[in-house]
Amino acid sequence: MGLLRSEEMKHGLLVVPVQDARRYIDKLGKTTNLQFQDMNARDMRRPYRKHIQRIDEMERVLRFMFDEIAKIEGCEVIKNEVDTFLENDGRYKLDQVEAELQSLYGNFTRFKENNATLVAEKNQAIEEQEVIRVAMKVLGSKNASQGLEAPLLGDDSLNRSLGYLAGVVTKADEQRFVRALWRASRGNTFVELCPIGKPVVDPKTNQAVEKSVFVVYFQGSGSALREKVVKVCQGFGVNMYAWPSSSDGALKNFLLLQKQLTEKELALGAFQDLMKAEIQDLIDVPCGNSKIEDLRLFCIKEKSIYNVLNMCEEGMALRVNVWYPASDETMIQDSLKELRSQGDGQGAFLNPDRGFKSMPPTYIKVNDYTEVFQDVVDTYGIPRYQEANPGLLTVVTFPFIFGMMYGDVFHGSMLLLTGIWLVFNAHKFKHSQPTIYSARYLVFSLGFFATFSGFLYNDFASIGLPIFESRFVDADGAGHFVPINDIRNEGGPGPYPFGLDWRWIGAQNELLFVNSMKMKLSVLFGVIQMCVGIVLRFSNAIYDRNITDLIFECIPMAIFMICFFGWMDYMILYKWTHVIDNSPNIINSLICMAMGQEDKNPLYPGSVEMAKTLMKFTVLSVPFMLFPKPLILLMQHKKAMKAGASADEESVAVGHGDHGEEFEFGEIFIHQIIETIEYVLGTVSHTASYLRIWALSLAHQQLSLVFFQKTLTMGLVMPFPQNGFMIFFMFGAWFVITLGVLMGMDVLECFLHTLRLHWVEFQSKFFKAGGEKFEPYNAKKLLIAASVEQ
């Protein structure tokens, strides 16, 4: 059972010299597995908080730099080479990196301000040019040859000349701007809007903004109405530009602005070239990553180191409690010895503390294949320290039960090919899609077992595969098939070599036979898996040396399970392997067994007496689960009280019941009643719950059959040449439906039901899941996680 349990953990005190503390933590984070405990959690002392603040500022500068680099075309930052960085990170020092980043930040800030000024000037030239373009259209007309300042009726004695204001407003503010002018002038203005063809880039936000040229016409060029119009324009923050008085002046200004615009574009181009030259050093790849990415990773690593140092208790040296795997102790001591040989002074030491009473964290070694299955278990709960871990068994049982639900050669092969593709292209998803990366072997396993079960069910998208010679022949040529295999072992042909005989597919009684087979397979493997769960409960009791749980919980539970549901599985296997002329109904036999009735149709001579005996053991196991344990715990409590044991010792003595430190017999007895009822009734309901394997397999097979009949079959029965066109289009419809329903929804449904069977039906038999995960300080994992989040 060693493989089913977490690694043995040790507790120790790590003593690190203050002057070399950073170097030691840096090295230990790369080569060892140490989980640090916060020694300053109570008083919240953080001796290295100033270093954290400095690095926070450096990270802010780096975020700014990354944003600026992203705005420049052709500048790509090479990332995700964490291993290469860790091999060469010694070339960076905190003070040097900080000074370099501050210098770069100052330069880039000035560059950004200059760029904003150039963009603003360019925008003003574009907007004024657009205003003049509109003015040229108006002034170029025959009626405007005298300009807009000419009297409306040829007589300016009444000051009836036309006043005007022009500028540029954003499209988002157009309607509000027009309504504000109408209200301010009481309807005595006319606004003409002309959209600008190209969006204008806002220098502050770097976002493209759509704008329109506006011209406001009103009576009297110097009246009070003009002041109202100006105030409205100022309130909306629009840009106003001079309106030319004649078409000649407009043309002259337009050409002048065109020249200015060309100069601004040249200046911006030169600025972009300057920025690229300045950035080139940052995006160059000195070793694996771009330099700016190395600086980012360096800041993350340094910050993590000082976070660890903040957990240390100060004194003549830094001290911190650590957890570590017992198997790694030699490697940790060797690493410390190597570091001591490289420095001056006494160096760092790890002193094991064997008397530490706290519950150790749970550390389970995983590899690329088993990691995702352990994550499935950890999602439900972390195993307690040295508790039987279902993760190793889940590696096999999870995809196997999924395959029983999803069994189909065609769809399983598609899922298998998807998993193979993910495995061979894992590097593409490691940093961009970490969820897909971690699930690659899970998809592969699900596809493999789904394909295997598909061959067992002989189901290829609802079509039977004639792989071997059938054991049924058409007796009269009218479709009445009879078996030819020797069921009595008299020297005739044997059974179908593998899986289901393909003659069953499409037969009139196919559902009757296949459903019966799949139902029996479901409860058969369900009971086996629950029995494995009880075996693991035995292993927990033996490992904890809890004789009470072993004798009065594990053994009665095993008797209850085997004597009733094990007998049911035996009946299924007996009927499959023996020729019975008058075969009994298993459900009726179990009802007679449970109700104490006479079974009129026994499985074999003497089976009724065997069933009655097993039922007696089944019933007797219930009081053994219910009464002895609370009474034994009460006796242990009284014995401890008489011996004058302390409260802590008392809590340890009764701690097996998980009822807290204070002993309350009533609460313990009620809790035991609940656990007994839950196990007895739960075992019945859990066995029935495994029938979901059959139900989902039936649903998949019937959906596949319906989709095939309603699409491809319709084309196959049509005459030539219509069948060719129909099959072409119907294949597309069938394939789309297959991908959407059977490869999408059905995969998810089978996955969720498999998850339920493991979390509830299997793990409830032994798994408490009250542990704390071992989380060592590991620089590589930390940097990979930071790369994924970016």
Residue 478, pLDDT score: 66
Average pLDDT for 574-595: 88
At a CB cut-off of 8 Å and minimum separation 6, what does 237 contact?
none
- The predicted-structure confidence for 163-211, as pLDDT tens digits, reads as follows 778 888 888 888 898 899 888 888 888 888 888 888 877 776 777 888 8
463 secondary structure, DSSP code: B
Residue 479, pLDDT score: 67
Asked if residues 149 and 162 have their Cβ atoms less than 8 Å apart, the reply is: yes
Residue 683, pLDDT score: 93
- The predicted-structure confidence for 62-100, as pLDDT tens digits, reads as follows 998 888 888 777 788 888 888 888 888 888 899 999 999
Average pLDDT for 344-351: 80
Write out the H or E segment, with its range, that includes residue 200.
strand 200-201
Phi, psi for 18 (deg, rounded to 5):
-65, -45
From the number of C-beta atoms within 10 Å of its C-beta (0-12, 13-18, 19+), residue 209 rates as middle
Q: What percentage of the chain has pLDDT greater than the value 90? A: 45
Distance CA 582, CA 602 (A): 9
Average pLDDT for 496-502: 91
Higher pLDDT residue, 475 or 472? 472
For residue 749, name the pLDDT band (cuts at 50, 70, 90): very high
At a CB cut-off of 8 Å and minimum separation 6, what does 552 contact?
624, 625, 628, 629, 632
Residue 355, pLDDT score: 67
Residue 1, pLDDT score: 47
At a CB cut-off of 8 Å and minimum separation 6, what does 693 contact?
401, 404, 405, 518, 521, 522, 525, 526, 757
Residue 11, pLDDT score: 92
pTM of the model: 0.80
Residue 660, pLDDT score: 44
At a CB cut-off of 8 Å and minimum separation 6, what does 34 contact?
14, 28, 322, 323, 324, 332, 776, 777
Q: Lowest mean pLDDT: which of 200-214, 499-513, 739-753?
A: 200-214
Distance spanning both ends of the chain, measured CA to CA: 41
Higher pLDDT residue, 788 or 629? 629
Name all contacts of 47-53 with Cβ < 8 Å and 24+ positions apart: 47/309, 47/310, 47/312, 47/314, 48/306, 48/309, 48/310, 49/310, 51/94, 51/302, 51/306, 52/303, 52/306, 52/307, 52/310
Chain region(s) in the chain for CATH 3.30.70.340: 1-44+312-363
For residue 684, name the pLDDT band (cuts at 50, 70, 90): very high
- The predicted-structure confidence for 210-225, as pLDDT tens digits, reads as follows 888 888 888 766 678 8
Residue 471, pLDDT score: 87
**Is pLDDT above 70 for 147?**
no
Chain region(s) in the chain for CATH 3.30.70.3450: 149-242
Question: Omega before 628 cis (within 30°)?
Answer: no
For residue 144, name the pLDDT band (cuts at 50, 70, 90): very low
Q: Lowest mean pLDDT: which of 277-286, 394-403, 484-493?
A: 484-493
Residue 363, pLDDT score: 94
Average pLDDT for 550-571: 95
Q: What percentage of the chain has pLDDT greater than the value 70? A: 92
The distance from CA 395 to its chain's CA centroid, rounded to whole angstroms, is 19
Average pLDDT for 469-479: 78
Residue 210, pLDDT score: 87
For residue 571, name the pLDDT band (cuts at 50, 70, 90): very high
Average pLDDT for 561-582: 91
Higher pLDDT residue, 660 or 8? 8
- The predicted-structure confidence for 246-283, as pLDDT tens digits, reads as follows 777 778 877 887 888 887 778 877 777 777 777 888 88
Distance CA 318, CA 339 (A): 16
- The predicted-structure confidence for 631-659, as pLDDT tens digits, reads as follows 999 898 888 888 864 444 444 333 444 44
**Is pLDDT above 80 for 344?**
no
Residue 557, pLDDT score: 95
Residue 659, pLDDT score: 41
Residue 153, pLDDT score: 45
Residue 164, pLDDT score: 79
CA-based diameter of the chain, in Å?
131
Residue 647, pLDDT score: 43
Decide yes or no: CATH 3.40.50.150 for domain 149-242.
Answer: no
- The predicted-structure confidence for 363-387, as pLDDT tens digits, reads as follows 999 999 999 999 999 999 999 999 9
For 637, other C-beta atoms within 10 Å of its C-beta total 18
**For residue 694, what are its two tokens?**
């059959």
**Is pLDDT above 50 for 780?**
yes
- The predicted-structure confidence for 404-459, as pLDDT tens digits, reads as follows 999 999 999 999 999 999 999 998 888 778 889 999 999 999 999 999 999 999 99
Residue range 1-44+312-363, CATH number: 3.30.70.340
Higher pLDDT residue, 288 or 13? 13
- The predicted-structure confidence for 225-234, as pLDDT tens digits, reads as follows 888 888 888 8
Mean pLDDT highest for which of 110-124, 323-337, 712-726? 323-337
